[in-house]
Amino acid sequence: MPLNHNKRFVERDRTWHPAAYTPGYKTAVARSPSQALVSLQAPSVSELSGPEFTNLRMGPHDNDLLLNYRENPGRENQGQNGLPIGERIIMFGRVVDQFGKPVPQTLVEMWQANAGGRYRHNKDSYLAPLDPNFGGVGRCLTDNEGWYRFRTVRPGPYPWPNGINTWRPAHIHVSVMGPSISTRLITQMYFEGDPLIPICPIVQTLNSQEAVETMIGRLDMGHSRPMDCLAYRFDLVVRGELQTYFENV
């Protein structure tokens, strides 16, 4: 595999991203470094490269959460039987870099709670029930123009032990690789208009409303399917990739 030193990525603006120490989000208090990050002035191939997943073999429903979890996987899906309960939605969007260039064939992964806000995870003991037909995990590669697409149900909000009465807004966790480990990003998609967004301590780890806007999926009636499901559009922007024109000799 040839090493490609011939690129770099736009510097990450760490005042735009949440800081490590954000005491309103209590878990961050003991999990944030107290020392400054050490900046690599000249990133190496270690940072400028990353995995590509075109040869990761996926199942036919890996991006379809309405179909990819069944209590009885062998059973045929007949009528409403076997479908999860909740608001049927398409979540889709485009992965581009900061210069607007599409990021094709990159891995987008997502996970979420069910319509009642309950995660299918050993550690989640919230009293809202599991949905026997909902797992809550999806993945896909972007296409050649950078588009990705999932079909799922809209997740519910849920309480969590932070303040006395803290609730997460409805959200879908989203993970994107991009062209290198420098562009690696995990974020959360929130839903346009959700009144829990401005009072969430995790959302409030961001300093600006402008940055919060980058995490909000927008209702997209044009891409919804009549009599079937609504659509939310969520574009992801990863760090801009530049060519290195002159290097030191």
Partner 1 sequence: MKQPNSTPTSELPLRETASQTAGPYVHIGLALDVAGLPPRQEEIWNRMATTEADGELIEVVGSVIDGNGDLVRDAFIEAWQADAHGEYQCDFDLEKLFNSFGRTATTVETGGEWSLITVKPGRVEAPNGKPMAPHINLAVFARGINIQLNTRLYFDDEHDANAACPILNAVESPARRQTLIARREEGEGGRVRYRLDIRLQGEGETVFFDF
Q: What residues numbered 72-111 form the site for partner 1, per CB under 8 A?
A: 96-100, 109-111
CA distance 201 to 213: 16
Beta strands in 127-170 (DSSP E): 137-141, 147-153, 158-160, 166-168
Tell me: does residue 52 bind partner 1 (CB under 8 A).
yes
Tell me: does residue 236 bind partner 1 (CB under 8 A).
yes
Instruction: Give whichever of 215 and 219 is closer to partner 1, judged by the CB atom.
Output: 215
Which of 141, 152, 61 is CA-nearest to residue 106? 141
Residue 125, Ramachandran bin (φ over 0: left; ψ between -120 and 50: alpha; else beta): alpha
The catalytic residues are 119, 158, 168, 171, 173
Minimum gap (Å) between residue 80 Cβ and partner 1: 23
Strand (E) or helix (H) holding 173: strand 171-176
Tell me: does residue 25 bind partner 1 (CB under 8 A).
yes
Among the listed ranges 80-88, 119-127, 140-148, 219-227, the one in contact with partner 1 (CB under 8 A) is 119-127
Minimum gap (Å) between residue 203 Cβ and partner 1: 8
Over the window 190 to 229, marking each residue x when it contacts partner 1 by CB under 8 A and - when it does not, the resulting string is ------------xx-xx---xxx-xx--------------
Please tell me whether residue 199 adopts helix, strand or coil conformation.
helix
Tell me: does residue 123 bind partner 1 (CB under 8 A).
yes
Minimum gap (Å) between residue 75 Cβ and partner 1: 15
Q: Are 146 and 104 in contact (CB under 8 A)?
A: yes
Query: Please, which residues have CB within 8 angstroms of residue 87's CB and are 6 or more apart in sequence?
Result: 115, 153, 154, 230
Minimum gap (Å) between residue 102 Cβ and partner 1: 12
Among the listed ranges 17-25, 80-88, 142-150, 224-232, the one in contact with partner 1 (CB under 8 A) is 17-25
Q: Are 83 and 133 in contact (CB under 8 A)?
A: yes
Among the listed ranges 56-64, 82-90, 140-148, 221-229, the one in contact with partner 1 (CB under 8 A) is 56-64
Instruction: Give whichever of 99 and 225 is closer to partner 1, judged by the CB atom.
Output: 99
DSSP 41: S
